[in-house]
């Protein structure tokens, strides 16, 4: 009897793990400033993963698999979020309005020129 229950458990586990519709978050480091877009679900995720702040746009339960997430730059993420979801970045935290595309650079005008350290 115990063997039959254990066998059923293993079959259910194998089916659950191999289900192709399981969603996956984009691949990123434990603490990583990264921005992603999944065309399949028109979903966006970005920010500092593992620390915050992060933001998500699109369906709350995306079905995107890890290879379907395309990495974006900070500027691309902001532009696409504005175009696809009508995000007004002026109403968000200053962190989101600051261009961090170049390590060590802080630009508030989006020009990419280093204005402060």
Dihedral sign, Cα of residue 61, residue 76, residue 47, residue 55: negative
Read off the pLDDT of residues 84-96 as tens digits, 9 standing for 90 and up. Answer: 999 888 888 787 7
Query: Is the preceding omega at residue 53 within 30 degrees of 0, hence cis?
Result: yes
| 46 in Cβ contact with 30 (< 8 Å) | no
H or E element that contains 9: helix 2-17
| 23 in Cβ contact with 67 (< 8 Å) | no
Read off the pLDDT of residues 18-57 as tens digits, 9 standing for 90 and up. Answer: 444 467 888 888 889 999 999 998 999 999 999 989 999 9
């Amino acid at each position: 009897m115990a063997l039959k229950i254990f066998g059923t458990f293993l079959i259910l586990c194998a089916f659950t793990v191999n289900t192709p519709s399981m969603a996956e978050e984009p691949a990123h480091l434990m603490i990583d400033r990264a921005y992603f877009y999944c065309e399949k679900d028109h979903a966006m995720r970005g920010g500092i993963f593992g620390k915050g702040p992060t933001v998500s746009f699109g369906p709350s339960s995306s079905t995107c698999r890890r290879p379907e997430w395309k990495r974006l730059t900070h500027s691309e993420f902001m532009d696409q979020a504005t175009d696809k979801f009508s995000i007004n970045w002026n109403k968000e935290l200053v962190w989101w309005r600051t261009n961090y595309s170049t390590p060590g650079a802080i630009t508030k005008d989006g020009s990419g020129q280093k204005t402060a350290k």
